[in-house]
Amino acid sequence: MSTTFDFSGRSFLVTGASSGIGRATVQLLRASGANVVAAARRVDELARLAEETGCEPLVLDVGDPAAIDAALGDLDAFDGLVNCAGITVLERAIDTKAESFDRVMAVNARGAALVARHVARGMIDAKRHGSIVNVSSQAALAALDDHLSYSASKAAMDAITRTLCIELGPYRIRVNSVNPTVTLTPMAVQAWSDPAKSGAALQAIPLRRFAQPHEVAEPILFLLSDAASMISGVALPIDGGYTAR
């Protein structure tokens, strides 16, 4: 992983920080000098991340609105937010369960919106200009088998991004989404280890490979940085060309 940004003196909240893209984002932000509050549900992994990076751990289930209010209500203002918390339930469209749909939407869409609400309010009150990045998915941009609930939640997240963009822009707060392809977190490595499953997916990606977590985290840092000072309201595919077809 490379570090090309200086976030010294800036503070960020990262949700879904205990693994994968969220974890890589915390690592890169800390390596770039940022103060980071790392939020997730897994106490053990948060403790390990805090020991490794010096981040401030925050146990939080973004699917619980009351927990969001309790956890974020008294925190100091941030300079930015990375909404990375997310869950996936894979079901055929004709087998979609109401409880599965509701749970995925509650975490991926509603949770992101409510966390952004708290962070944006704090930034506005403190007159801090900054950036919010929502970690969406290529599933918001292209149809995928068995992903109805997940795709709907990530499409909702992109819509949330656009609305936040126009409402927060006058306060000089930028809001963008990143939309990665399969990213090789530990769980994804196991899930896609069978060549019979991964072969077709890889053939659909012009670069013929999946993403590594740091390959998503680095564009996130770009969008958080002043180098992206005129970029807001975009959904940026990080998919090796998958959605170009």
C-alpha 2, offset from chain centre: 19
Task: Give dist(CA 185, CA 150) in Å, integer.
Answer: 17
Instruction: Judge whether 171 counts as a catalytic residue.
Output: no
The per-residue pLDDT for range 129-157, each reduced to its tens digit, is 999 999 999 999 998 887 899 999 999 99
Is 134 contained in some domain?
yes
pLDDT along the chain (245 residues), means of 10: 82 97 98 98 96 98 97 94 92 92 96 98 97 96 89 97 98 98 85 83 95 97 98 98 93
157 domain-assigned: yes
Q: Can you tell me the distance from the alpha carbon of 238 to that of 104, in angstroms, rounded to the nearest whole number?
A: 22
Q: Which domain holds residue 46?
A: 11-230
User: What pLDDT does residue 91 have?
Assistant: 84
Q: How far apart are CA 158 and CA 57, in angstroms?
A: 27
Total number of domains in the chain: 1
Instruction: Determine which one of 7, 78, 150, 222 is catalytic.
Output: 150
**237 inside domain:** no
**Residue 3, pLDDT score:** 58
In a domain, 92, yes or no: yes
Q: Is residue 243 part of a domain?
A: no
Domain with residue 45: its CATH number is: 3.40.50.720
Residue reference for tokens 């609930």 = 149
Answer yes or no: is 5 within a domain.
Answer: no
**CA 164 centroid distance within chain:** 15
Question: pTM higher than 0.85, yes or no?
Answer: yes
Q: Does any domain span residue 239?
A: no
Report pLDDT for 2.
57
Measured between its terminal Cα atoms, the distance across the chain in Å is 29
CA torsion 191-196-198-199 (nearest 10°) is: 170
- Within a domain: 235: no
